[in-house]
Chain A
Amino acid sequence: MSRMKFYCDDYRCIDCNGCVVACKEAHEIPVGVNRRRVITINEGIEGKQKSLSVACMHCSDAPCQKVCPTDCFYIRTDGIVLHDKDKCIGCGYCLYACPFGAPQFGHEGIFGVKGVMDKCTFCAGGPDETLSENEFEHYGQNRIAEGKIPMCASMCSTKALIAGDASEVDKIYEYRTAKRGDNTSLKPYGWEAYNNGK
């Protein structure tokens, strides 16, 4: 088995924020916390506007896990990066380290009471007993345990956002780009393109 991944296709994303709403609704996430966000660049410039839905990317070499002073992250065998809210001290270091701005704090504000960290769980709950009330309260639904894919991806109307086993996601990506006529084997994409641009 390979690792679970998200992929958002910027050719398809129409900035409808359906994924954001689906996530908030499914996990009953409080105001001020967005496990998923839609980023738009070149807004209003014809032909150049692009949107991308981002949440925790469940990194293979997760920086949040490296930085957390209380070591409260753990990576499941399927690659999903989860954390233990009972250990978290709310220091916010994971947010400093995360390249995707994924960690969220419910009570931002002065007097230090940021609360503990919350982030996308790939709809896989947390360390509490699977499908228990506690797990729902702390981490939201555990759709993976129920054999479903994450809520955001399942609700995406254009299927820009896809989620699942990386090798499957990769196949869909290759199929789509081939169909569009992008020769991805010649053109670097993703982090490769980002690093080449440096």
Chain B
Amino acid sequence: MESKTFWECNKAYILTALGLGVVGFVFVGFLMIMDWGYLIQYTMHALIGDTSGVLTAPASELEQMVNAAFGPAYNSVAPEIIRASNERQEYIWYVFFAEIMIFVFLYIKNGRVTPTITRPNDTVQVLTSFQRAVIWLNIGMISILVLTGFNITWGLRSEGGDIPRILREFHELTGLAWIGVWLVFTVIAAKDMKGWRKNSTFRHFLPGSFKPSKRVIWFFYAAMGAALCFSGAMIITLHPSSLTHADVIQFRRVLLYLHFGASVLIMFFILDFVYASAVSVKGYLKGLWSGNYPREYLEQVAPDVLEDLKKAGRA
């Protein structure tokens, strides 16, 4: 028991950290042209309130003018976005392809779990109508955000015009509205956060617990969602505007970089949600809609949820 615990308990975290480490190393070291040294120094300066990006005193009058007119080192931050837009439109497919292949692999390995249901009418309410409203609102809004967001990335295909422009504006509006939904969903999906679990109300509200591999997914969804909400809202509301204030334009470039990076990463976790709810277990999606799952389904697929619901007197 003792010798097993650390590796067994933390396998999912260690593997995720290793996987992200390798992918991160390859990306940062070989595929990205961002000036990381500048970004790190810039972040330090920004944290103490200097967002201008002028890290060293200008050596000439011309440099001083350049800084005053449009900010310094304009292609140090986010060059993938601001210098290589067309390449990005071509190559981002490979990232999505790799993400989808992971689920194809999982499907080939695990197949589709089909619980045997003999008493379909013996059901237990797992999700309240409030929880379902939040879940489906989240699904709807994320679908809109993904479509309208990547509508910007792939503008070369749509060739722009009024419809893509309205979709882009819709992205910003939906994004602002999603902030609240993201927050509530994050809480609903948290399930077995230690402190909350001690509290009986939370346990009643959030039955079941996560396996580490699922907790990692929840953690990433929460973190990437936070990054998207923070960067998106900041891009929209940044004051003074970078249109007239060169001292904040570098900051805005960093925000856009964060937003795009987080949107590509969150896609993996969105795809995982689609896989988990529509592919991996038969009957999951139906329950997500009605809130009720057959008792036998829970016994076979989610005994921990049934256990908690029993304790709460709901099953």
Contact = CB atoms under 8 A, between A and B. Distances in A.
Contact of B168 (A50, A63, A112, A190): A112
Interface stretch (A84-92, A132-140, A157-165, A173-181): A84-92
Given A112-B169, A197-B58, A99 B74 contact: yes
B169 A67 contact: no
Contacts of A93: 81-82, 85, 256
Contacts of B170: 112
B180 interface: no
A112 B173 contact: yes
A101 B156 contact: no
Given A50-B65, A70-B155, A99-B75, 11 more contacts: A34-B244, A41-B61, A52-B69, A63-B75, A63-B82, A67-B81, A67-B82, A71-B160, A87-B159, A99-B74, A112-B172
Nearest to A33: B243
B85 A68 contact: yes
Nearest to B71: A101
A20 to B, nearest CB: 13
A184 to B, nearest CB: 13
Interface residues of B, number: 52
B153 interface: yes
Interface string B141-172: 00000000000111110111100110011111
Contact of A67 (B63, B64, B85): B85
Interface string A168-198: 0000000000000000000001100110011
Contacts of B59: 197-198
A91 B168 contact: yes
Contacts of A111: 169, 172-173, 236
24 contacts: A39-B65, A39-B68, A41-B68, A50-B61, A54-B69, A63-B83, A67-B81, A68-B155, A69-B89, A70-B160, A89-B160, A91-B152, A93-B85, A96-B81, A96-B249, A101-B70, A108-B241, A108-B243, A111-B172, A112-B169, A112-B171, A197-B60, A197-B62, A197-B63
Nearest to B70: A101
Interface of A: 10, 34, 37, 39-42, 50, 52, 54, 63, 66-72, 84, 86-91, 93, 95-101, 104-105, 108, 110-113, 116, 189-190, 193-194, 197-198
A96 B252 contact: yes
Given A67-B82, A71-B159, A93-B85, A100 B70 contact: yes
A37 B241 CA distance: 15
Nearest to B87: A66
B69 A96 contact: no
Given A63-B82, A108-B243, A116-B165, A69 B249 contact: no
A110 B235 CA distance: 9
Interface in B245-276: 246, 249, 252-253, 256
A110 B78 contact: no
A164 B30 CA distance: 43
A68 B156 CA distance: 8
A52 B62 CA distance: 10
Nearest to A91: B152
Query: For A39, A69, A87, A112, which residue has the most chain B Cβ atoms within 10 angstroms?
Result: A69
Nearest to B86: A66
Closest 6 CB pairs of A and B: A70-B160, A69-B155, A112-B172, A197-B59, A87-B160, A70-B155
A197 B57 CA distance: 11
B116 interface: no
B86 to A, nearest CB: 7
B84 interface: yes
Contacts of B172: 111-112
Interface string B63-103: 11110111100110010011111100100000000000000
B12 to A, nearest CB: 37
Given A52-B65, A63-B82, A67-B83, A101 B169 contact: no
A95 B242 contact: yes
A190 to B, nearest CB: 7
Contacts of B118: none
Contact of A97 (B58, B61, B83, B152): B83
Given A41-B65, A71-B156, A108-B241, A99 B70 contact: yes
B243 A104 contact: yes
A196 to B, nearest CB: 8
